[in-house]
Structure formats: C-alpha cells, structure tokens
Structure 1
Amino acid sequence: MSSLPTTAPSDAAQFIKNRVRTIDGWPQPGVQFRDITPVLADRRALRTLIDLFVQRYIDAKLDTIAGLDARGFIIGPILAYELSIGFVPIRKKGKLPYKTLSQSYELEYASATVEIHEDACQPGERVVIVDDLIATGGTMMAGTQLLRRLGAVVVEGAAIIDLPDLGGSKLLRNSGLPLFTVCEFADR
C-alpha cells in the first residue's frame, strides 16, 4: 500500500473539505473544532467519502476495519460493510462488556484510555484503523498499539481530516504507521 498516494484525489477531497464545519472555541477557547456532521448529512458527500475509502481498500486483502470511539464508529462499519469484512470497536475505558486490553494516551487538551476486547482480532489479521481526524495522533497511536498487542497487522491508519500543525500525522508516520487522509486543515 505504500506506493499509493497518502491523500485523496483533489476534487473529491475539496468536495469533502468544503462540507466540514469549523466551530471556533469549542470545546474550549483557542480550539477550532472540525465538525464532520455536515459531511454525514449530505448524501453526496457521504457517498463520496465512503467511495474514496472503498476504492483505496477494495484490493488490500483486509480482514477487519477497526474504528476509534466515537466518530470512527460512523465511518468504520459502513466501510467494513462495503468491503464485506468485520468491524472492531476501540472504545473509551469502561464501555466494553467483555475482557479488555487498555492503552492510555495524551490528547490535544486532555488524557484518556481506550480499550479493545481481548478477542477482537486474531494474530496476523490485516486491519485498517479509522477515525474522523488526526490531531495529536494519540488516539490512533493507542488504538494501533492495542491492535498490535493482539497480533494484528495494522496496514494503515485512515482519517477524513488531518490537522498537520498538531503533529499527529508526523508522529504516526514516524512510528511506522502509513496514513491516508481525505483532506487537511493546516491551522488549528
């Protein structure tokens, strides 16, 4: 997959980016929140977004899509369905009912812990991990670490939005995780 582009075709990416809403000062002053709900509400934008991911992964011989809590739960199952593979949730601590593995990490403005069921995937399974955006990279890094602890091969991290100024995409790539993002916002 490393020979594939790391971003979506420019026309489709711009179409998606134009539908992302920016909310200044939420959830705290100084933050520009990138809201994907208008993308999800627009049938053409949602179809374009899912088609971008499906076309990227249709021949990747994947076993599973892992989605990060919470917005990775929106795109992940749709993508898994379209690829005829399974979906695995990586949830915030205390939300999964069975035996779990945990991983703590730092966010842009807090710290958190995510968990995965200890039987979520088998050693050698090929997985793409999905979220709505990459900011500091902490959530995706923690999810990747959990999947690797289960023996999965994390083929790539995928997100709708990259916020490169926060350093997460660089951190993830430097850790050896290939990334695919649809669009980026160069400022916070």
Structure 2
Amino acid sequence: MFAAENGLKGDSRLEAISAAIRVIPHFPKPGIMFQDITTLMLNHKVFKDTVDIFVDRYKDMGISVVAGIEARGFMFGPSIALAIGAKFVPLRKPGKLPGKVISQAYELEYGKDCIEMHIDAVQAGDRAVVIDDLVATGGTLTAAIKLLGLVIK
C-alpha cells in the first residue's frame, strides 16, 4: 500500500529491501513472525536505499523533528534527520534518559511498556515524523504520537 501511494510501485529498491529482512518465526514468543532488520543493514546499498526512500518522502515537508523509537528507530532516524536538516529525538524505555522526561505507557502484542522523551526535546510548532521498524498492534506508534503531542500543538 505505501509503495503504490507514494510512487514507489515497481521500485526495485523495495524488492531488495524486502529480501534483505530476515523473518524469525516464534520470536520473542510463539506465534510472532519477527521481522529482523539488522540483516538489511549488512548490505550498505540496501541500507542506503532504505534511508533514501524516507529522505525522498520527507525532505520537502517541513519536518523539524525525527523521533526514533528505541531501539530500531535509532538505526534509521539519525541518518534521516541529518539528510533532511531536522533534529533527532530519541524515544527511550524508562530510566534511560537523564534529566526531566515525560512518559507514555502503551500495550504490546505480548505485554505492556512505556516510552520517555526529554521534556525539552520538542517545541510547540515542531513538525515530527516517527521512525520505528514495524507496526504490529500500533501501540508503540500511538504512544509516540501521544508523547510528541503533549508538547507539539
């Protein structure tokens, strides 16, 4: 769906990206088909193509914040932020950020968790894009949007 809606249908980069992602059945628990993107990053061309697709999509949208969800959002987020001239904001698990933070709890496929962000990382009026590796239940993404929305209005 994303490929067709964003002019990427037939883009050979997408086939290479898809082929580079290793699927691990029953991880971290039975019934989960884990999409391991670490194998994608072993091929520098495929890794670069992945970042380039994001950059092409967001470079002219006035994005001022690229928020990366721990931990896989840290793998792509900084490169995308640098390329589009935005700041990178890490969204981390509890207790990992020093200083004052704001938090948002959420549900996972297999439990509950929470993400935190420095309270001064984003400002009212910032325009953000959130980077993570996949959307399963949407809980992490929803929490990130809520967390950013507490400051960006």
* TM-score, normalization by structure 2: 0.92
Residue 20 (structure 1) aligned with residue 16 (structure 2)? no
Kindly state the Cα deviation for residue 5 of structure 1 after the two structures are TM-superposed: 2.3
Unaligned runs of 5+ in 1: 153-188
2:101 is aligned with what amino acid?
T
Counterpart CA distance in 2 for 1:25 and 1:126 is 37
Aligned residue pairs: how many?
A: 149
Secondary structure of the structure 2 residue equivalent to 1:134: coil
Quote the sequence identity (%).
41
Please give the secondary structure, in 2, of the residue aligned with 1:133.
coil
Give 1:8 shift.
4.0
Match of 1:94 in 2: 95
Give the corresponding residue for 1:75. 76
Higher strand share goes to which structure? Answer: 1
Structure 2 equivalent of residue 104 of structure 1:
105
Aligned residues: CA RMSD: 1.5
Segment drifting more, 104-113 vs 9-18:
9-18
1:57 corresponds to which residue?
Answer: 58
The runs of 4+ residues in structure 1 deviating greater than 4 Å are none
Secondary structure of 1:141 counterpart: helix
Instruction: Report 1:2-21 matches (<5 A).
Output: 5=5, 8-10=8-10, 11-21=12-22
Render the CA deviation track for 1:126-168: whole Å, top value 9, x for unaligned: 110110111101001001101000125xxxxxxxxxxxxxxxx
Instruction: From the two aligned structures, give the one with the greater helix fraction.
Output: 2
Is there any run of 5+ residues in structure 2 with no aligned partner, and where?
A: none
The equivalent residue for 2:128 is 127
